[in-house]
Chain A
């Protein structure tokens, strides 16, 4: 009996890895070139900005909220940066300006939601349109190209040791930082408390408003870097880019076992979830599947993963020890 229980627990804990291994095996059997390092690095490069947005989304989902405006913020950042650069503003100042702007946008989402006592869904549904609207208005819907190679190399097209694309490095660095923040700091701990039981957190003297607003601001910051990568990959600020970013970030986190109702989540799970989506996209396109098929499969995989989660959870008592 004990043994069966442990199998269930291990399955839950490592289910993301299990899915990854199975997917990789299937694609490798069908197309051996799939495991070619170049292909894998390329895949990681293409999923890097989703991963970064998903890290931030993990904090929000853990708190029991989410942000629909991630893509709009990333687009606004890219457009703003492109504008500043085209006006001859030095790169450093332009970057700093974009960072400050994005933190402010994220902060606004949190501030309005918390202080105005409006559900984050509604607030960010509105700001998703507002931010996107601003990006589209100031550019009249046109792409603003970026000609500064230092920037596009650093965030998008460059490589380290001539092999690893820089976005992959950025994705890894942010992973380490966010894992630390989530697992090893009071901020992450409080996010779990608040998402798990807001009342109890308040009685325990945890300043929930401050934490929630900070998490939204953090989302702004990370979406800014997602925006930098997107702009670099496009060599331009594109006002209608990244419209799926929020949804992809939520999907990645949920695939990784983060509870949409809050209180439960891990950074490892989120990065695993991003890889699942990345592998699916890369594998399916290797097999010649078109983007509509990829979207379809993505949807099915999300349902299956959550069903699997529930089935396993009902059968075993889970301990919340998580890394």
Chain B
């Protein structure tokens, strides 16, 4: 089991004169789980894309597959060499069935112009059995959960006799329970001799599942270590290049009077949620995916209809009819999916920062004051340390962490009383995460109340003052800071299952 399946020698990549990857030497063994770790922009995705044939490495580098040099000109070449990739954004066709999706990349196995439903079905079934998964091959992919779709992607890979499977942050968008199921699948694959390259930001997962860990920083390989000798501290210092003593900075804040009181709030997807929040307090909402946590935030922000319940904001009844209404009363909402609902990707950083405050800055007749827009954007660029070359740069060209800071900037300028955060650090690297936590902490210090939905238990427990736990649309408990542990949150999160 110790032989090398894939070996990279001196792999580098340059985009438009920018060197994003250099001198990578890496050996992957047959049947190992090899974790790839690094901050955003460290070059992990580029490396994955080189291995999957999306990018070609610069001259001078070689890739050896089972001892023979290979060169992937296009993604299909990598697949022919039995290297398969499961991207963060899944690439299935939603309206086709599971079986159809599984055979999509194997058309040359089915010659002729006719489809072969039975053959497709059998192949899909066999793959599912191998994975010990119970997914109907004839169901359209649209009907499946994200976790199930991931399983379909894996089935697609193993039915092509994959020898190496690359997974780009597979657990970033699925629940803890599904993540554990995925871990079991990965272990089974390893048993059967498949090599897994696993990218994740979650250190505890990596320690649990990986045999070896390779850390990248700024396009270079920092080192490869065995997973059992990798401590959090060590991995983090390898990633950021310095010692990080406190990942979760939290300031001591004197709590003010109650600012929002929620009583028996219900909508068509959750019911009877009650809590109150003081100025400067950070409330976490925990639970598994599907616990309807986002829906609570949406209801508080006027995006979703409430069916019953009362909310009191600063002593007054609060029932927003629209987001505009909620904003007027001091609510801000940092949504879960930056690209979907946080940013306008085809606009500049300057424009994005001003989307919410245009009303305040513009004259009564609606004429825009561009110099003022610019001053404001520059102010937040400095205050939140947004890394960019030019404030007129397209926001889509920034890294995840910096994009998130742009989203924060636009909300901070409205001087909110309450900020709703939905998975505020999803998909961003540890350095930027810590910066986001200190921004939250700074807001709390100024007396802003914060409600944060998070699926990352360490974050949820360390950043908040108390935690409301949801399960299947029902509130199953409230934990104070002292009571909150990973176990106590999980127990409540699964209380009704």
> A residues touching B (Cβ–Cβ < 8 Å)?
1-2, 5, 183-190, 192-193, 196-197, 199-207, 259, 263-264, 317-321
Contact = CB atoms under 8 A, between A and B. Distances in A.
A200 B355 CA distance: 9
B16 A197 contact: no
Contacts of B478: none
Most buried by A among B16, B328, B342, B370: B16
Given A184-B368, A186-B359, A263 B346 contact: yes
A186 B368 contact: yes
Nearest to B370: A184
B95 interface: no
26 contacts: A1-B17, A2-B17, A184-B368, A185-B366, A185-B367, A186-B359, A186-B368, A189-B354, A189-B368, A192-B347, A193-B351, A196-B347, A197-B343, A200-B343, A203-B333, A203-B335, A204-B323, A205-B327, A207-B322, A263-B346, A317-B16, A319-B393, A320-B348, A320-B351, A320-B392, A321-B392
Interface of B: 16-17, 301, 303, 322-328, 333, 335, 340-348, 351, 354-356, 358-359, 362, 365-368, 370, 390, 392-394, 397, 410
Contacts of A184: 367-368, 370
A14 B188 CA distance: 58
Contacts of A1: 16-17
Contacts of A199: 340-341
Most buried by A among B323, B344, B351, B397: B344
Contacts of A320: 346-348, 351, 392, 394
Contacts of B410: 204
A297 to B, nearest CB: 31
Given A192-B344, A197-B341, A203 B368 contact: no
Given A189-B351, A205-B325, A319-B393, 17 more contacts: A185-B366, A186-B359, A189-B355, A193-B355, A197-B344, A200-B342, A200-B343, A201-B344, A202-B303, A203-B323, A203-B342, A204-B355, A204-B410, A205-B356, A317-B397, A320-B347, A320-B348
B326 A205 contact: yes
A318 B390 CA distance: 12
B330 to A, nearest CB: 12
A206 to B, nearest CB: 7
Contacts of B359: 186
Contacts of B344: 192-193, 196-197, 200-201, 263
Nearest to B302: A205
Most buried by B among A190, A205, A264: A205
A319 B390 contact: yes
Nearest to B342: A200
B376 to A, nearest CB: 14
B36 to A, nearest CB: 26
A206 B282 CA distance: 27
B394 A259 contact: no
B394 A317 contact: yes
A173 B17 CA distance: 46
Nearest to A263: B346
Contacts of A189: 351, 354-355, 358, 368
Contacts of B325: 205
A192 B394 CA distance: 13
A190 B356 CA distance: 10
A207 B324 contact: yes
B347 A319 contact: no
Nearest to B357: A204
B400 to A, nearest CB: 16
A320 B390 CA distance: 11
Nearest to B328: A205
Nearest to A203: B341
A13 to B, nearest CB: 12
A206 B346 contact: no
Contact of B355 (A2, A183, A187, A201): A201
A188 B324 CA distance: 18
B438 to A, nearest CB: 24
Contacts of B341: 197, 199-200, 202-203
B392 A319 contact: yes
Contact of B345 (A196, A318, A319): A196
Contacts of B392: 319-321
Given A193-B355, A203-B303, A259 B346 contact: yes
A5 B347 contact: no
Nearest to A192: B347
Contacts of A205: 322-328, 356
A207 B366 CA distance: 14
A314 to B, nearest CB: 11
B324 A206 contact: yes
Contacts of A183: 368
B347 A263 contact: yes
Contacts of A321: 348, 392
Given A204-B355, A204-B356, A196 B346 contact: yes
Contacts of A203: 301, 303, 323, 333, 335, 341-342
A88 to B, nearest CB: 39
A317 B394 CA distance: 8
A197 B393 contact: no
A186 B356 CA distance: 11
Contacts of A186: 358-359, 362, 366-368
Nearest to A8: B16
A44 to B, nearest CB: 29
A267 to B, nearest CB: 14
A61 to B, nearest CB: 13
B346 A202 contact: no
A46 to B, nearest CB: 34
Nearest to B407: A200
B394 A318 contact: yes
Nearest to B410: A204
B389 to A, nearest CB: 10
A200 B347 CA distance: 12
A215 B280 CA distance: 42
Nearest to B343: A200
Contacts of A196: 344-347
